[in-house]
Every structure is written in structure tokens, then in C-alpha cells.
Amino acid sequence: MRIIVHGQQAFGKAVCEALLERGEDVFAVYCAPEKEGARIDPLKEFAQEKGIPVYQPKSFRKPEVWEEFAALKPDLCVMAYVTLFIPEEVLNTPTHGTIQYHPSLLPLHRGPSSINWPIIWGEAKTGLTIFWPDNGLDTGPILLQKEVEVKPDDTLGSIYFDSLFPMGVAAMLEGVDMVKAGNAPKVVQDESKATYEGWCKKEQAEIDWNKPMDEVYNLIRGCNPQPAAWTTHGGETLQIFESTKAEGSGTPGEVLAITGDSVTIATQGGAIAVQRVRPAGAGKVTAPEWASGAGIQPGAKLGG
């Protein structure tokens, strides 16, 4: 079966590599064009090393791009982390269509930050979906799904790198097997259960220390490492990464204690022991290192 891998970055490379390792006929790769000055995309670099032709159209809305894709005569397109809009004129071109990876249990958490939000909202599980994309946003029929437990101290990084990334690669291979065997289902998504969330960006990642301890903690771990939860001190932004829930009480945003490994900050009904931060214009440091350099003492106030 002639397969096109369409993706980018480490996940796209991992899927392409896994398909090749087991002898699949990956004969072409599509990936997004690099921005000026950016390093070569890992998927593109890998494909070139393997002698696989690489295509990088800036848009898939042009008939000439559809014609170029069709001329390749693919049997299946495997989409592994794609950010450009791909119309059905391309999706339906391969003999067996196109399958795509999405890191949530569709129809829940459609959209671009589908890993962040379940953690931020304190959900106990998330997962991944391999589905048949259409012209909607994450709306196509489902091929297969895998659940992932969100443990109380999981972060965006741990959920993705420890679970959704490796499980996603394996699920893509499983999906290819089902297509080849002719038993790949197309289960229509239940629109009554659908949710959509936009990007989790800096604007959504600001810490409100007046919120309950659990909400603050979930925001920090759901944004670690990207986009990174943040607060302010002295007019400067401070990004917060590793942290734990802690005992203590005080005015929300008040620094309650500084120890050898953390800075404890009051929230509504509890506290957060912050262990690693990034001050504006600097690299990551331990929270006590930041406090020492910034002259922070117990009683100092963070945020608004």
C-alpha cells in the first residue's frame, strides 16, 4: 500500500520512522514550510535522509496542489500533527482516504490545545483518537480511540511525552493495519457531546491567586511546559513550571515561605510550593534562586 505521511516535528518523524521500520511503502512526505530562519523540520530532515520526496505547499486550497497530490496516486494518507487546513479534495484522493491523529477523546476537546484543557480543568482521563478527517475541525468519523489516565500530578509534558506521543505512534500503525485489513470502522461522532476549545496561550495562562488552590495548581501543570503559567512581580513576568500543592494560609499571592527547594505562595484556601521558574529575559532557575536574586522575602506579593 502506497502511503503518504503528512505531518511535522518529532511526532511526524516518529510515525514515518515507525512505518518504514516495519516495511511500509512510504513513498512521499508532506510537511509545513519552515518559517524564515527556522531549523529544518525533523520530519523533512528524516525523509531526505531516507531519500523520500518532500512536498511543502504553503496552502492546500489551490487546485494545482490537489492535482500534484493526486498525481502521486496514494493509497492512504497518514496525518501526524498537521496544522494547515486540508480540504476534502485532498483528504479523499487516496484510494483508502486519510486518517489523522488527534490527542483527545473526540468529540471532546476538539481544537488546537486539546491536551492542555483536560489537565487545566482537573479531568481524570483524556486520550487519543485516530479519525477520518473531513472539512470540519476534528469532526470526521472515528476509527479508533485509546484512553489515558490523568494522574493528580501529571503535566502537559508528562501526559504527552510519556503517554500520548508513544501511544499515538502505535495507534497510527494500528489504524494503518485496520485499513489494510479492510475492517477500519467509521463511527460518526456524537455531536451532542462535542466540545471545542481554542488555543491555550499566554492570555489564558495568567495565574489568579484568588482562585482555589486546586484550580491554580491545575493551571500550572496544564501549561507546563507550554505556554507556561505566569504571574508578575515588580512589573516583571515570572513563568512558573514545577510545583506542588502545599499547606499554608495568607493573602492570595503572598509569599509564605522560602526553603531550600521551593517558594510557597498563598492561594484561596491553600498554597502552592513553586520549585522552578523562569524570570523575564532569563532561563529557568529554581524558585529559591529567583527569590534570592530578586530580593524576595516572605510577605512579598505576587500578581495583580
pLDDT digits (tens, 9 = 90+) for 254-264: 999 999 999 99
Relative to beta strand 142-149, strand 263-267 is: unpaired
Do 109 and 174 reside in the same domain of the chain? yes
Q: What percent of the chain has a predicted confidence (pLDDT) above 70?
A: 100
Q: Is residue 303 part of a domain?
A: no
> Which of 141, 144, 123, 143 is CA-nearest to residue 133?
141
Total of domains in the chain: 2
Do 162 and 100 reside in the same domain of the chain? yes
Kindly indicate the confidence band of residue 202, based on its pLDDT and cuts at 50, 70 and 90.
Answer: very high
Q: Is residue 168 part of a domain?
A: yes
* Secondary structure letter of residue 18 according to DSSP: H
Do 130 and 34 reside in the same domain of the chain? yes
Is residue 176's pLDDT more than 80? yes
Do 111 and 7 reside in the same domain of the chain? yes
Do 240 and 284 reside in the same domain of the chain? yes
Quote the pLDDT of residue 286. Answer: 98
Is residue 53's pLDDT more than 80? yes
Mean pLDDT taken over the chain: 97
- Domain of 159? 2-193
Q: Is residue 141 part of a domain?
A: yes
Q: What is the distance between the alpha carbons of residues 68 and 59, in angstroms, rounded to a whole number?
A: 13
Q: The CATH number of the domain where 238 resides is what?
A: 3.10.25.10
29, three cell numbers: 512526505
Domain boundary among 129, 159, 193: 193
Do 127 and 32 reside in the same domain of the chain? yes
pLDDT in tens, 30-52: 999 998 888 999 999 999 999 99
For residues 35 and 271, the model is more confident at 271
> Which of 271, 117, 254, 138 is CA-nearest to residue 194?
138
Whether the CB-CB separation of 108 and 195 falls below 8 Å is answered with: yes
Q: What is the distance between the alpha carbons of residues 94 and 87, in angstroms, rounded to a whole number?
A: 13
CA dihedral (203, 206, 235, 303) positive or negative? positive
- What are the b/e assignments for 272-284, b being 16+ CB within 10 Å? bbbbbbbbeeeee
Q: Is residue 304 part of a domain?
A: no
Quote the pLDDT of residue 245. Answer: 98
Angle at 189 between CA 183 and CA 190, to 5 degrees: 135
Q: Is residue 275 part of a domain?
A: yes
- What are the b/e assignments for 175-213, b being 16+ CB within 10 Å? bbebbeeeebeeeebeeeeeeebeebeeebbebebebeb
Q: The CATH number of the domain where 17 resides is what?
A: 3.40.50.170
Domain boundary among 140, 159, 193: 193
Do 68 and 131 reside in the same domain of the chain? yes
Mean pLDDT of 52-57: 98
Mean pLDDT of 117-127: 98
User: In which residue are the cell numbers 495568567 written?
Assistant: 206
Mean pLDDT of 283-293: 97
Domain boundary among 193, 215, 235: 193
Q: Is residue 215 part of a domain?
A: yes
Quote the pLDDT of residue 75. Answer: 98
Q: Is residue 300 part of a domain?
A: no
Do 132 and 211 reside in the same domain of the chain? no
Do 179 and 218 reside in the same domain of the chain? no
Do 28 and 134 reside in the same domain of the chain? yes
Do 72 and 144 reside in the same domain of the chain? yes
Do 212 and 118 reside in the same domain of the chain? no
Mean pLDDT of 234-242: 96
